Amino acid sequence: MGKPGMQKIPKQMLQKGMFIEEFCGSWMEHPFWRSRFVLASDDDLARILQSSITELWIDPAKGLGLSDAEERALPAVEEPNLEQMAASAAKAKPQRVSMSEELARAAQICDRARTAVEQMFSEARMGKAVDAEHCKAMVEEISTSVSRNPSALISLARLKTADEYTYMHSVAVCALMIALARELALSEAQVKEAGLAGLLHDMGKALIPMSILNKAGKLTDEEFDIVKQHPMKGYELLVEAGNAGEEVMDACLHHHEKTDGSGYPHKLRDVDISLIAKMTAVCDVYDAITSNRPYKKGWDPAESIKKMAEWSKGHFDETVFQGFVKSLGIYPVGSLVRLQSNRLAIVVEQSPGALLKPKVKVFFSVANNTRIAPILLDLASSKVDEKIVGREPTDKWAFKDLDELWQVE
């Protein structure tokens, strides 16, 4: 598609001093979280040349452009066929796939998104603007993966190490927000806004000392007071950038509010907290308590849902929390459960429309206290005479490979 005033060039013609307006191709193909900036370093130029991107748009009004002779040598840019574009968009709508099919793609997206969020936090620490517009391609990629299979990326993002928590937490909450927004039947535009809110909700932590964020022990009261400044600091970053929507900024500012008024920074009560802030509060807490942190091991997903249900009155909006549980399942992927047959199993995939009957991998006989050859069971199938009788505390057992079990067929 032609862009007035812009020049579309092959990456080999790129030079320092040019203003990159847009990369041609997927966000996954280029090495930056943002796509609009002046190319100023040899390192960034080398990264682009080494990437799979072949073409990009530059803006000569904001940086170096091509000479008349170089521009005449460029191939003509064809105008788009709108009917073909519409047909392609319809075909491109993601089709639901199995957990095993989506895991490899979700792993690539998680890895790329973690790197991008780390770059974004690093730039914020150096005083550069956090441009929400540049995050939309990342949100789109995460949204597409969640459309193909909601559990894959969400479950992988939960497996973050303690030292990458700050960055992967943003990716995980983005995916959780997208799944929740769809469960609440929000419009697709609102779904994307919710994903963007999840991605940016903790940007204020870029301005909190890493020594406090990564502290292995309990925070002192003074340190916790510093951490509690991150919603306001993040909000101020987004206001300064000037292109995050009101809902995204509100989620950033109020995701630690509680419906009983005991949250922060403004002690808002139920009716005064926006829907998107209530959604972010639920997604934020779930990812925090299921993740390994410097000071504690993450809880099992099913145990986390149970704990959150106990807290829900006074902490979360009931309707939002119920929608969240439906989006994940009563027994989310990775949950350790006991079956009616007195065997243990790990949840490997949800069964649409059957919250209590996920697909599980049976691997342990409690009666014999021994591992058995893994068996995959779809508890929603009429051919399977088995059911879950309850979640099983992971700290009761010495299993070291639970996360590997649900990822392997």
Spatial separation of the C-alpha atoms in residues 12 and 18, rounded to whole Å: 13
CB 173 within 8 A of CB 165: no
The chain-wide mean pLDDT, for the chain, equals 91
Pick out the chain residues at pLDDT < 50: 1, 85, 89-90
pLDDT at 234: 97
Helices 165-183 and 136-148, axial angle in degrees (round to 10):
60
DSSP collapsed to 3 states, 282-345:
HHHHHHHHHCCECCECCCCHHHHHHHHHHHHHHHCCHHHHHHHHHHHCCCCCCCEEEECCCEEE
- The residues facing 281 across adjacent strands are none
Q: Which residues contact 186 (CB under 8 A, 6 or more apart)?
A: 194
pLDDT at 217: 85
pLDDT at 77: 56
> Would strands 336-339 and 388-391 be described as parallel, antiparallel, or unpaired?
antiparallel
pLDDT at 71: 67
Query: How does pLDDT run across 153-163, given as a tens digit for each residue?
Result: 999 999 988 88
264: how many CB neighbours lie within 10 A of its CB?
A: 15
